[in-house]
Structure 1
Amino acid sequence: MTFSAEPAMFADFLAYTLSGARPDPGQAQGEIAGGVRYRWLDDGVVELTPHLPRATGDRQPLPSVLVSAGVHGDETAPIELLSRMLADIARGDLPLACRLGVVLGNVAAMRAGCRYLDDDLNRLFCGRHAQLGESREAPRARALEAAAAQFFADASGDARLRWHIDMHTAIRASVFERFALLPHTGNPPSRAMFEWLAHARIEAVLLHTAKGNTYTHFTAESFGANACTLELGKVRPFGENDLTRFAAADAAVRALVSGSGEEDAAPMPRVFTVIGQITKHSDAFELFMADDVSNFTPFAHGTVLARDGDYRYTVTHDEERIVFPNRTVKPGLRAGLTVVEMTQETLAGLRR
């Protein structure tokens, strides 16, 4: 069989994207190994659909799985994993059993080797990009929203078949090296998501309790996707990642897109719920912890964690843990989240 795909695009999708290459009009869509159809939609954005037999009488609806990485340009390991997975699908080494959307997020920042150029892309979704028209990230947020809308427009109406896995690495070390964040939807989390996270060897899950402006908040709210943000280790430059440390998450993503999920006895992750936010109001902001404090570090009742003029953040529970502390954010932005453990209550209330 002769494929119309440009080999360089799928042989190394990361290198192809970083180079700024674009397929010729005749190669923007076509067919690769196994009869998989593809559509190149934008820099770092491609959609693949598996070959389907002609008989349609009892065909089950396909899952639609959006997998993204590089929303922060310096979080390179998941980008490399996603590029490798795409190459394996293109060669026929990994079967495809779903509609698959592949997104490399902040391509301009990836090329510059930095987290973002002007503004954190993962704070510009749910339309917030419209408030920052001068930001170089705003057009990309708008484009990624449009790409997700286009992808899920053709998805099954069954929300259980809509997934979004957004892969990241953390700036700092963590008590739990591999953890996930689930956006607030107003509904209990799904058992299917937690079982998948266990398969990915995710150690902890953080449940948001308010709407945000992240990519996964956008897809969960707008399209009903089972969405999660994965934090899989620490930020490192391209080519310096030990990808074996990400093997379990990589295997879980591959199982999801290939339909090869198997029974897995992995333990469910621990669950933490957001109960507070530390906000930087001005440049006088003080965060009373070391710059290298690990995510999920616990603090005891009565501990003052931050101060900014008359503003104080004081621990009010017996124990609160800090996640994503960052004293260098712009005034008005989140400088940290505080969480408490809610494992038993959450696991008991998972929905089917």
Structure 2
Amino acid sequence: MTMPAMLDDFLAFSLAGSRPSADAASGLCANGAVRWQWLDHGVMQFEPCASHDGVDRQSSVLASAGIHGDETAPIELLSFVARDIANSTLPLACRLFVVLGNLDAMRAGRRYLDDDLNRLFSGRHLQLPQSHEAPRAATLERLAGQFFAAAPAGGARWHIDMHTAIRASMFEQFALLPHTGAPLSREMFEWLRDARIAAVLLHTTKASTFSHYSAETCGALACTLELGKVRPFGKNDLARFAGADEALRALIGRRPEHGATRGGELPRVFTVIDQITKQSDAFELLLAADVANFTPFPKDTLLARDGDYRYTVRHDEERIVFPNPTVKPGLRAGLLVVETTGETHAALS
């Protein structure tokens, strides 16, 4: 069985803007064991054709990368996952939905063209109808919603959204969990441990990210992974991302022994307690340009000012994540977190 070009190199096919003809938009791969379907540029669905040992057709996994176009390492990893499913190197044991996000930004080597795609989900794209990114957010919402709507009742639902960070971090690889009000999942924390994620950041308010959309609207166990620093295509040391790659492959291949044999401590946990918001173009972030994510600051440290606005550390220690003074006015210029490891681990369901 000849593998279609789009499966052999899904990334190259997607970046080329190629669109298959109607009679070539679906078929069988993995020696007939998997049915695939091209749904849109950068969007593909895979499903095992029949039950066999190890297959759990009740489970549905959404794996996404490239929601920011310059975060290339996870994009490359996800393209390899599609290839390996197609050529039977990676046996598929669940329904799988693969998304390469902001293709136009990927082609331009930029984070986004008009607006951050990862701030346009849960309907926020309707507020920015002229944005280049708005139609893509609407398309990904619709297709992801359809994927989970067709999921078998009672089956596990996961969304792994893979990113890389703009700057260095005191924890090179960390995760963010959306806030929906649901109890935190021990299964998610154990998966993050297996992915060698060192820290987890807990949001405390609703957001407009892709992972928040899938968690709140689609009922998925969802996370955003930050796996290292932004680099151009072809310049990534993918061995640095082996933990996340192996854990994702274990999840979609349903190999429970992956987690059972790794063991070790669960990731440290930090909870968002505030954010710095850029009010105007007079905004000043009073930090070194290269300050790392999770850098701690003691009480009474002045971190930002903007006209009459000031942000001063109120707790004995607060750490800053995603400091970025170049965002548009009205957007977040940094998150402030405090460590909550002990109480979070104790409360896991």
Q: TM-score scaled by structure 2?
A: 0.96
State the 1:221 CA deviation.
0.6
The answer on 1:129 being equivalent to 2:117 is no
Identify unmatched segments of 5+ residues in structure 2: none
The answer to whether the 8 Å contact 2:175/2:201 transfers is yes
Question: Counterpart of 1:289?
Answer: 287
Question: Does residue 50 of the first structure (1) align with residue 45 of the second (2)?
Answer: no
Correspondences of 1:65-84 after superposition (within 5 Å): 65-84=61-80
Q: Distance in 1 between matches of 2:288 and 2:133?
A: 30
| 1:189-228 pair list within 5 angstroms | 189-228=184-223
1:5-16 equivalences under 5 Å are 7-16=4-13
Q: Which runs of 5+ in 1 are unaligned?
A: none
Residue 62 of structure 1: CA displacement? 1.8
Letter in 2 for 1:188: P
The residue number in structure 2 matching 1:24 is: 21
Partner AA of 2:326 in structure 1? T
Spell out structure 1 runs of 4+ moving beyond 6 A: none
> In 1, Cα distance between the equivalents of 2:154 and 2:209?
23
User: Whole-Å Cα distance in 2 between the matches of residues 155 and 312 of structure 1?
Assistant: 47
2:278 counterpart residue number: 280
Choose which of 213, 234, 238 in structure 2 pairs with 1:239.
Answer: 234
Q: Secondary structure at the match of 2:271?
A: strand
Asked whether 1:86 is paired with 2:87, we answer: no
Q: Corresponding residue for 2:103?
A: 107
The alignment yields a C-alpha RMSD, in angstroms, of 1.4
Task: Report the residue type matching 1:304 in the other structure.
Answer: L
Deviations 1:328-352 (A, max 9, x none): 000000000000000010011111x
**Letter matched to residue 215 of structure 2:** A
Change (3 A) 1:60 1:178: closer
Aligned residue identity for 1:231: E
For residues 155-174 of structure 1, the aligned pairs below 5 Å read 155-158=151-154, 161-174=156-169
Q: 1:64 and 2:74 equivalent?
A: no
Q: 2 CA distance for matches of 1:10 and 1:269?
A: 34
Alpha-carbon shift at residue 242 of structure 1 (Å): 0.2
Asked if 1 retains the 8 angstrom alpha-carbon contact of 2:71 and 2:230, the reply is yes
Question: Given that residues 161 and 224 in structure 2 are in contact (C-alpha distance below 8 angstroms), is that contact kept between their aligned partners in structure 1?
Answer: yes
Q: In 1, are the aligned partners of 2:94 and 2:252 still within 8 Å (CA)? A: yes
Which secondary structure state, in structure 2, belongs to the residue aligned with residue 78 of structure 1?
helix
- How many Å separate the matches in 1 of 2:57 and 2:27? 22
- Which of 36, 39, 47 pairs up with 1:41? 39
Any idea what the Cα deviations from partners look like across 1:98-147, whole Å, max 9, x if unmatched? 10000000011011111000000000001000000110000000000011
What corresponds to 1:318 in structure 2? Answer: 316
Q: Which amino acid is 2:304 matched to? A: A
TM-aligned CA deviation for residue 187 of structure 1: 1.9
Match of 1:342 among 331, 340, 343: 340
Residue deviations 1:61-119 (CA, integer Å, cap 9, x gap): 52100000000000000000000111010000100001000000001101111100000
Letter in 1 for 2:17: G
The equivalent of 1:176 in structure 2 is 171
Deviation string 1:11-56 (CA, Å, 9 cap, x unpaired) is 11000100111112111111111420011000000000012149xx
Q: Which residue of 2 aligns with 1:259?
A: 254
Contact 1:307 1:313 in 2 (8 A): yes
Query: In structure 2, how many angstroms separate the alpha carbons of the residues matched to 1:199 and 1:243?
Result: 17
Q: C-alpha displacement at 1:60, in angstroms?
A: 6.0
Q: Percent identity?
A: 66
Instruction: Report if aligned partners of 1:69, 1:105 keep a CA contact under 8 Å in 2.
Output: yes
| SS of residue paired to 2:175 | strand
